[in-house]
C-alpha cells in the first residue's frame, strides 16, 4: 500500500517535495479557498467590506468576519478563523504602537506590509505553519 502523494514532505514547512512543492503552503491556500467569501469595494468616499456568514451547525457561534482595526481601517478575512483573529490582534497592536510613537494613524499600506512580514516569516521558519487566511485591509 502506498502512502499519500506528499510522502512526508508535508511534515515541515521548509521541506520541498521532489516536484518543487511546499505542501504546508498548499494546505493553507486550500483553507482559504474553502472559507466564506469576502468582498471589498473602494469608492471616492471610502470603502465597503462585506463577508458571507455560513451557519453550519446550531452549536456553532456566529462570528464577525469584518473587524475594526483603528478609526479608519477595517479588515475582512476568509479562511481559518483562529488565524484571522491572531493577525487581527497583531494589526491592532501595530496600529496602536504607530499612533503612540508617531502621533498619527497608521497608513493602510504600512499596516498591510507589517502583516505581510508576519505571513512571510510563518512560511519560512520551522516549527510553525503558514497562516490559512486571506485578509482584505481597507
Whether 118 is covered by a domain: the verdict is yes
| Predicted local distance difference test score (pLDDT) of residue 10 | 60
Q: Looking at residue 128, which CATH number applies to its domain? A: 3.60.20.10
| Predicted local distance difference test score (pLDDT) of residue 9 | 56
Local confidence band at 5 (pLDDT 50, 70, 90 cut-offs): low
Whether 67 is covered by a domain: the verdict is yes
Decide if pLDDT at 3 tops 60. no
Q: Who contacts 97 (Cβ-Cβ below 8 Å, separation ≥6)?
A: none
DSSP 8-state code for residue 50: E
Whether 69 is covered by a domain: the verdict is yes
Residue whose grid cell is 473587524: 67
List, for residues 58-115, the tens digit of each pLDDT value: 666 667 889 999 999 999 999 989 999 999 999 999 999 999 999 999 999 999 999 9
Whether 16 is covered by a domain: the verdict is no
Q: Answer with the residue of higher pLDDT: 23 or 120.
A: 120
Whether 6 is covered by a domain: the verdict is no
| Predicted local distance difference test score (pLDDT) of residue 1 | 42
Closest CA to 136 of 81, 45, 67, 57: 67
| Predicted local distance difference test score (pLDDT) of residue 117 | 96
Domain with 81, as residue range(s), is 23-137
Whether 4 is covered by a domain: the verdict is no
Local confidence band at 20 (pLDDT 50, 70, 90 cut-offs): confident
- What pTM was estimated for this model as a whole? 0.79
DSSP per residue, 67-133? EEEETTEEEEEEE-HHHHHHHHHHHHHHHHHHHHHHSSPPPHHHHHHHHHHHHHHTTTSTTS----E
Count structural domains, the chain: 1
Residue 119: CB atoms within 10 Å: 16
Whether 9 is covered by a domain: the verdict is no
3-state secondary structure (DSSP) of residue 28? helix
Amino acid at each position: 500500500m502506498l502512502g499519500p502523494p506528499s510522502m512526508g514532505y508535508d511534515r515541515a514547512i521548509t521541506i520541498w517535495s521532489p516536484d518543487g512543492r511546499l505542501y504546508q503552503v498548499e494546505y493553507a491556500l486550500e483553507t482559504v479557498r474553502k472559507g466564506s467569501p469576502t468582498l471589498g469595494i473602494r469608492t471616492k468616499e471610502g470603502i465597503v467590506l462585506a463577508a458571507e456568514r455560513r451557519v453550519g451547525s446550531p452549536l456553532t457561534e456566529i462570528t464577525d468576519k469584518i473587524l475594526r482595526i483603528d478609526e479608519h481601517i477595517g479588515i475582512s478575512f476568509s479562511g481559518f478563523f483562529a488565524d484571522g483573529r491572531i493577525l487581527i490582534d497583531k494589526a491592532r497592536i501595530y496600529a496602536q504602537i504607530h499612533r503612540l510613537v508617531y502621533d498619527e494613524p497608521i497608513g493602510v499600506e504600512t499596516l498591510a506590509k507589517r502583516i505581510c512580514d508576519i505571513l512571510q516569516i510563518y512560511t519560512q521558519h520551522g516549527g510553525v505553519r503558514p497562516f490559512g487566511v486571506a485578509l482584505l485591509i481597507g
